[in-house]
Amino acid sequence: MTIFFYSTTGQYGCFSNFSRHGFDLDGLRWSTSEHYFQAQKFVGTPYLEEVRRAKTPKEAARLGRRRDWPLRPDWDEVKDEVMRKAVLRKFEVNPEIRAVLLATADEELFEDSPTDAYWGGGSDRTGQNKLGKVLMEVRARLRA
């Protein structure tokens, strides 16, 4: 059985990067994994802090998509590892959602985003589902 998730509501809402499960990483406090992920696009610039301080994950995502700010040149090479790092930390330090993730056993996890065919499945569910794959990797690592 495949477990589909997308929004922050419902049983698997904690799988969303917008879920309000904060953590400390790289010496800073992050409200959500979305804040961390989007801010990493601007490492070494003041924009990182602006994204980190965004009031909501939606605002952090909007700021992270700005292209008038200088995107780090290696972003395409590091973005998967950045996501992995954020998601792992989120589930390491929040035991209530770690339990939800571990309870999914060996089920496939699928981000049912209608618009993102990289991190999710896209409009026709044929996307790469990278976030689902990261969650399954994190689940395996937490079990070990």
CA distance readout (Å), 95 to 2, 98, 113, 140? 23, 5, 26, 15
pLDDT tens per residue, the chain (144 residues)? 999 999 999 999 999 999 999 999 999 999 999 999 999 999 999 999 999 999 999 999 999 999 999 999 999 999 999 999 999 999 999 999 999 999 999 999 999 999 999 999 999 999 999 999 999 999 999 999
- Angle, alpha carbons 28-84-77 (nearest 5°): 100
Between CA 41 and CA 71 the distance in angstroms is 6
Q: Enumerate the domain spans of the chain.
A: 2-143
Q: What is the pLDDT, as a whole number, of residue 85?
A: 98
**Which class does domain 2-143 fall in?**
mainly alpha
